[in-house]
């Protein structure tokens, strides 16, 4: 297992990047802890797979260096970096048995056969394919195949990190849950450094200790699930995480009052905003309360999704979502209030702190 340092990494697929926009991956400079579980979360084309492939060594970054436990591995091959990777579509050697599939990476490294046997048997138990050793890999289900892909990483007990590239894409919904908790359990039990790429927020939030949210080639926030929920650093994080996403309303700021349309919202801090910036107020639907007091809204639609209702409404001529309890009533003359603690202020899409 290894600590991973990404030192000023940038990557462009074109030969000569001229402007910042030519970079598929904009500057990344971070340290990831040994034994951590990280999820790279973002929409398609945000650069998350590029970053993963840079870590695994399938791509050489245009700029910057990458260190494993302080050792520069930028120019080492995937094999020399000792990385394991699980791909979107299960990769198995279908002419081999389950046993031989797992033994393959060890035999390629000329591990003595007795040691191969011991480790393969151990790994087969770990991934829960106990009775399947002698079966041909071809006839297995997608989730079993994906377990074998994972197993081929686990069997090499000295791997620096295990990387997952949207590993649950082709897995049936009910098996997704099982497989995800199994990966999580393996992480807890053996402390592998794991990096998990996904565009599914549920997967990212349940899997990772730290979620790395990427947008348009850059990392916009690295945080625990709670941090991402409560204090999104960028309006994108607000939109992308949460269901429905954060309400973002364009506001005018005046001291600690935000004005949207004709409505005034009081803030419990004095935001530090540069003059001329585009200012917005972010509030999650969970922290908007609907009742008889507060600011008027016009309800357009109510979606009952079982545990609670999502109310879509227009507030000061802006669309807004509100989460109401399953048995919460919707008044005839609806009004809303915002929980002041849950309000975030954004200037040019980035969250701003308090005036010193």
Partner 1 sequence: MEKTWNNKAWFMVLPVLVLVAFSAVIPLMTVVNYSVQDTFGNNEFFWAGTDWYVQVLTSDRFWDALTRNLIFSAIILAIEIPLGIIIALNMPKKGLGVPVCLVLMALPLLIPWNVVGTIWQVFGRVDIGLLGRTLEAIGINYNYVQNPVAAWVTLIVMDVWHWTSLVVLLCYAGLVSIPDAYYQAAKIDGASRWSVFRYIQLPKMKRVLLIAFLLRFMDSFMIYTEPFVVTGGGPGNSTTFLSIDLVKTAIGQFDLGPAAALSIIYFLIILLLSWIFYTVMTTSDAQG
Among 9, 66, 73, 83, binds partner 1 (CB under 8 A): 83
Distance CA 170, CA 91 (A): 12
Distance, in Å, from the CA atom of 323 to the CA atom of 344, rounded to the nearest integer, reads: 18
- Please report whether residue 190 would count as binding partner 1 according to CB under 8 A: no
The alpha carbon dihedral of 228, 66, 23, 164 has a sign of negative
How far apart, in whole angstroms, are the C-alpha atoms of residue 274 and residue 71? Answer: 41
Secondary structure letter of residue 171 according to DSSP = S
149 binds partner 1 (CB under 8 A): yes
Beta bridge partners of 29: none
What is the helix (H) or strand (E) element at residue 163, kind and residue range?
strand 161-165
Which one of 71, 75, 109, 264 is in contact with partner 1 (CB under 8 A)? 109
Burial 50-80 (b: 16+ CB within 10 A, else e): bbbbbbbbbbebbebebbbeeeebeebebee
Give the total of residues touching partner 1 (CB under 8 A): 25
The smaller minimum CB distance to partner 1, of residues 83 and 265, is found at: 83
Which of 8, 29, 118, 138 binds partner 1 (CB under 8 A)? It is 138
Q: Measured from the CB atom, is 21 or 60 closer to partner 1?
A: 60
Which residues touch 124 (CB under 8 Å, ≥6 apart)?
98, 99, 102, 130, 132, 133, 151
Beta strand 344-347 pairing with 295-296? unpaired
Q: Which residue has the tokens 């005036």?
A: 355
255: left (phi over 0), alpha (psi -120 to 50) or beta: left
Candidate residues 7, 88, 259, 318; the one interacting with partner 1 per rule CB under 8 A: 88
**13 sits near partner 1 (criterion: CB under 8 A):** no
Q: Does 148 bind partner 1 (CB under 8 A)?
A: no
Q: Does 154 bind partner 1 (CB under 8 A)?
A: no
Q: Which is nearer to partner 1, 84 or 126 (CB)?
A: 84
Query: Looking at beta carbons only, is 132 or 215 nearer to partner 1?
Result: 132
Q: Which of 96, 270, 273, 277 binds partner 1 (CB under 8 A)?
A: 96
Among 51, 84, 124, 212, binds partner 1 (CB under 8 A): 84
Residue 79 binds partner 1, judged by CB under 8 A: yes
Minimal distance, residue 307 CB to partner 1, in Å: 37
Which residues 6+ apart lie within 8 Å of 209 measured at CB? Answer: 36, 37, 38, 224
Q: Is 75 in the site for partner 1 (CB under 8 A)?
A: no
94 binds partner 1 (CB under 8 A): yes
Per CB under 8 A, residues contacting partner 1 are 56, 58, 77-79, 83-85, 87-89, 91, 93-96, 104-105, 108-109, 136, 138, 149, 152-153
């Amino acid at each position: 297992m290894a600590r991973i340092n990404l030192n000023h990494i940038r990557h462009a697929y074109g030969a000569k990047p001229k402007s910042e926009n030519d970079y598929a991956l904009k500057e990344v400079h971070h340290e990831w802890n040994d034994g951590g579980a990280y999820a790279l979360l973002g929409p398609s084309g945000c650069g998350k797979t590029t970053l993963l492939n840079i870590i695994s060594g399938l791509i050489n970054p245009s700029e910057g260096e990458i260190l494993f436990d302080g050792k520069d591995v930028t120019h080492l091959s995937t094999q020399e970096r000792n990385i394991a990777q699980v791909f979107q579509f299960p990769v198995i050697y279908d002419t081999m048995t389950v046993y031989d599939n797992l033994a393959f990476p060890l035999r390629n490294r000329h591990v003595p056969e007795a040691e191969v046997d011991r480790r393969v048997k151990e790994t087969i138990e770990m991934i829960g394919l106990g009775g399947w050793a002698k079966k041909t890999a071809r006839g297995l289900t997608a989730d079993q195949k994906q377990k074998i892909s994972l197993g081929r990483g686990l069997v090499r007990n000295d791997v620096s990190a295990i990387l997952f590239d949207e590993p649950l894409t082709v897995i049936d919904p009910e098996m997704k849950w099982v497989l995800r908790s199994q990966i999580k359990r393996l992480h807890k039990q053996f402390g592998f450094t794991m990096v998990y790429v996904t565009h599914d927020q549920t997967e990212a939030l349940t899997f990772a200790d730290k979620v790395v949210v990427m947008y348009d080639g850059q990392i916009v926030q690295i945080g625990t699930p709670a941090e991402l929920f409560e204090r999104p650093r960028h309006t994108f994080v607000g939109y992308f995480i949460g269901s429905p996403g954060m309400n973002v309303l364009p506001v005018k700021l005046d001291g600690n009052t935000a004005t949207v349309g004709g409505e005034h919202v009081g803030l419990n801090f004095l935001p530090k905003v540069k003059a001329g910036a585009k200012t917005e107020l972010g509030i999650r639907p969970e922290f908007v309360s609907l009742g008889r007091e507060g600011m008027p809204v016009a309800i357009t639609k109510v979606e009952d999704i079982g545990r609670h209702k999502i109310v879509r409404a227009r507030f000061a001529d802006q669309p807004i979502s509100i989460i109401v309890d399953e048995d919460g009533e919707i008044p005839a003359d609806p009004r809303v209030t915002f929980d002041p603690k849950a309000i975030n202020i954004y200037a040019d899409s980035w969250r701003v702190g308090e005036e010193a």
